[in-house]
């Protein structure tokens, strides 16, 4: 089983950024990802997730390739679901 598949990362549909990111932060607690302050900080928070080598190796995308958090979050959820 891949590392990404070890985490329950939800699809962001129906969730605001802080709620979605809080779930992800909890799932990634062993990596010391901080809780984001606001939706305005989504990119800097997403970079924390992207800097986890175990997840990047599984295909978590670079958030710089996305103009808004929901598209990136959907891709992260897809990767986690395998």
Range of the domain at 49: 4-81
Average pLDDT, the chain: 90
Domain count, the chain: 1
pLDDT band at 80 (very low <50, low <70, confident <90, very high): confident
Q: Is the Cβ–Cβ distance between 25 and 34 less than 8 Å?
A: yes
Calpha distance 74→55 (Å, rounded): 15
In the predicted model, is pLDDT for residue 74 greater than 90? yes
In the predicted model, is pLDDT for residue 77 greater than 50? yes
């Amino acid at each position: 089983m891949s590392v990404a598949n070890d985490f329950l990362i939800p699809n962001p549909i129906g969730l605001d950024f802080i709620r979605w990111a809080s779930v992800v932060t909890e799932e990634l607690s062993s990596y010391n990802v901080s809780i984001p302050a606001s939706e305005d900080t989504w990119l800097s928070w997403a970079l924390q997730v992207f800097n986890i080598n175990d997840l990047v190796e599984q295909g978590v995308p670079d958030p710089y390739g996305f103009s808004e958090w929901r598209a990136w979050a959907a891709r992260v959820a897809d990767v986690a679901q395998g």
